[in-house]
Amino acid sequence: MLAEMNDPDRAVVEMFMRSLDVDERVATALLEAGLTTIEEVAYIPPQELLEIAAITQTLLLSLRERARRQIADDPMRRAR
C-alpha cells in the first residue's frame, strides 16, 4: 500500500506509524479521513475519529494520548 502512495501521502502515513505507534492500516485510515498532523489527531472531536472504520473507542483514547504526548515532548510542536 505504501509503495502505491505519492510521496506526501506516504510521508504522512509513515509519520503516523512512527509517532503514534500504529500499523499501516490505521495510519492510512487517518490519512484517508483527511488528517495529516499529530495535532489533528490530538484535538479532533472524538466523534469524528470514531467515524473512521479502523478506530475503536479504546484505540481512540490511546491515539489521542499518544498524539498529545508527542506534542508535549516536542518543543517545536508546542511553539505552534
**pLDDT for the residue 19:** 95
For the chain, the structural domain boundaries read 2-78
Nearest C-alpha neighbor of 20 from the set 80, 69, 78: 69
Give DSSP secondary structure letters for 34-64.
Answer: T--SHHHHHHS-HHHHHTSTT--HHHHHHHH
Q: For residue 75, name the pLDDT band (cuts at 50, 70, 90).
A: confident
2-50: pLDDT as tens digits: 778 889 999 999 999 999 999 999 999 999 999 999 999 999 999 999 9
Contact 26, 36 (CB under 8 A): no
pLDDT over 60 at 80, yes or no = no
Q: What is the pTM of this model?
A: 0.86
48-74: pLDDT as tens digits: 999 998 899 999 999 999 999 999 988
**pLDDT for the residue 61:** 93
Write out the three cell numbers for 55: 478506530
| CATH number, span 2-78 | 1.10.150.20
